[in-house]
Amino acid sequence: MADPTLKDVLDAIAKLEAATKAEFVEVRREMGANHAETTTRLKRVEKQLDDVDEDLTGHMKVHRELEKDIAALKRRPPRTAARPARRR
């Protein structure tokens, strides 16, 4: 087998460069697609979190009202079932 000439080496480098550029373009395309998908998913998750936050805020309001009612009930004197004893 003969030693490669300068032209053979340059042809091999050109083929390698073309293959590398094609792979690079493909990787960039995949990265763009992944970025778009990730952005879409992130927006969906943010919307879900906003819905959960709104729901929790409603629950907190109800909880505050219940705590106020409990505090009001605790301030009342106890209701006893027994009647006070009659004096004769």
Task: Tell me what pLDDT residue 66 has.
Answer: 93
pLDDT of residue 80: 66
What lies within 8 Å, CB to CB, of 18 at 6+ separation is none
- Prediction pTM value: 0.51
Per-residue pLDDT of the chain (88 residues; tens, 9 = 90+): 678 899 999 999 999 999 999 999 999 999 999 999 999 999 999 999 999 999 999 999 999 999 998 888 888 766 666 666 677 6
Q: How many Å apart are CA 38 and CA 49, to the nearest integer?
A: 16
The predicted structure's pLDDT at residue 4: 87
DSSP output for 20-73: HHHHHHHHHHHHHHHHHHHHHHHHHHHHHHHHHHHHHHHHHHHHHHHHHHHHHH
- One-letter amino acid for residue 29 of the chain: R
